[in-house]
Amino acid sequence: MAGAQVGVRSAQKLKPEKLRLALAVLVLAVAAGLSISLTI
């Protein structure tokens, strides 16, 4: 989870629009990882 914390810190420096985009990408990545781990 260290990578997620670094991503959050770097996202806080960006504009709100980019923050929402980064958040959406992070959520999609986590959801994809969960679905992949569940199907295996």
Residue spans per domain, the chain = 2-39
Residue 38 is predicted with a pLDDT of: 80
Residue 39 is predicted with a pLDDT of: 80
Residue 29 is predicted with a pLDDT of: 93
Distance CA 29, CA 7 (A): 13
pLDDT digits (tens, 9 = 90+) for 1-40: 566 676 667 656 657 788 788 899 999 999 998 888 888 6
Q: How many Å from the N-terminal Cα to the C-terminal Cα in the chain?
A: 22
Q: E strands within 1-40?
A: none
